[in-house]
Structure 1
Amino acid sequence: MARPNSEHPTELELQILKVLWDAEPMTVRQVRESLANDGRKLAHTTLITMLSTMVDKGQVEKLNPMQGKAFRFSPLIGRDDVSKGMLGDLVERVFDGSAEAVMLSLFDVTQSDETELASLRKLLNKKMREARS
């Protein structure tokens, strides 16, 4: 039985989107080479199938060739929209909507140096001022 479509990109779709966000539009060959450089080697036909699925899902668009016969692909969804959607889903499903629980867990699983913690404090102070307004 086929897995139901997720509202968020799969792991491979996300890797492809990251490549396209960094340098779009790209041909299948260019995407494949970029993924291979990052350690993810895919068959050409596999990547064509993935990109076609992503077109059907509205994640990328297939652009007509500029020269030759190679189609180019460009993302239709932005990095911020994807990250906010996936993070919001994680916060709701895992942490029951608690930002405090997310932050505590984040501090448990990451190593933060003094500079990063100071930057986080500034961001938190800014959010507190905004909440009072």
Structure 2
Amino acid sequence: MDAVKNIKPTESELEILGILWEKGPSTVRDVHEILEQRKEAGYTTTLKLMQIMHDKGLLSRDTSSKTHIYQALVSQEKTQQQLLNKMIDTVFNGSASQLVMQALGHHRSSPEELDAIRRYLSDMEKKQE
């Protein structure tokens, strides 16, 4: 599992991981049907991508039945954190505050989201006292 820590999924791999994180263990056909609703995708392309992801250690494959079942081996939270850290380092010169200001300045947040952000910041301030 440590080798997976440094793997950076491609955009297409992230789409497949997203489906597996949401749906759970699935066949290639299951994943392909969802992908097809979002964009034009060939079944063999989906199959090949999932085989590559298995070889990279991103997915496990259960071959005990005729239809293979794939499952994500990397967690959504760890993958998001890894990609976010890379973005902060490379795009925002290591400044998380720049990322937050950019996101809030160019994305319309609901009142509920803004309240959650305020609570989060308040909690962070309390922990630092």
The TM-score normalised by the length of structure 1 is 0.86
**SS where residue 111 of structure 1 aligns?**
coil
Q: What CA deviation, in whole Å up to 9, does each residue of 1:66-118 have, x standing for no partner? A: 4xx11110000010011000001000111111122112111221112333222
| Corresponding residue number in structure 2 for 1:95 | 92
SS in 1 for 2:61: strand
User: Paired residue for 1:54?
Assistant: 53
Change (3 A) 1:115 1:24: closer
50, 72, 80: which one pairs with 1:75?
Answer: 72
Q: Which residue of 2 aligns with 1:12?
A: 12
- Paired residues for 1:101-116 under 5 Å: 101-116=98-113
Q: What's the RMSD between the two structures over aligned residues?
A: 1.5
1:32–1:41 contact (8 Å) kept in structure 2: no
**Structure 2: how far apart are the matches of 1:11 and 1:110?**
21
Stretch deviating more after TM superposition (78-87 or 107-116): 107-116
State the Cα distance separating 1:48 from its structure 2 match: 1.4
Structure 1: distance between partners of 2:67 and 2:88 = 41
User: 1:129 Cα deviation (Å)?
Assistant: 1.3
User: Which string of whole-angstrom CA distances, capped at 9 and with x for unpartnered residues, describes residues 42-82 of structure 1?
Assistant: 2221111101110111100111244xx11110000010011
Q: Within 1, Cα distance between the matches of 2:29 and 2:124? A: 44
> Which segments of 5 or more consecutive residues in structure 1 lack a partner in the other structure?
1-5
Identical-pair percentage: 28
User: Any unmatched runs of 5+ in structure 2?
Assistant: 1-5
What are the superposed Cα offsets for residues 11-68 of structure 1, whole Å, 9 maximum, x if unpaired? 100000011111121111111111112x2232221111101110111100111244xx
TM-score, length basis structure 2: 0.88
| Residue aligned with 2:71, SS | strand
Count residues with an aligned counterpart: 124
Name 1:120's counterpart in structure 2: 117
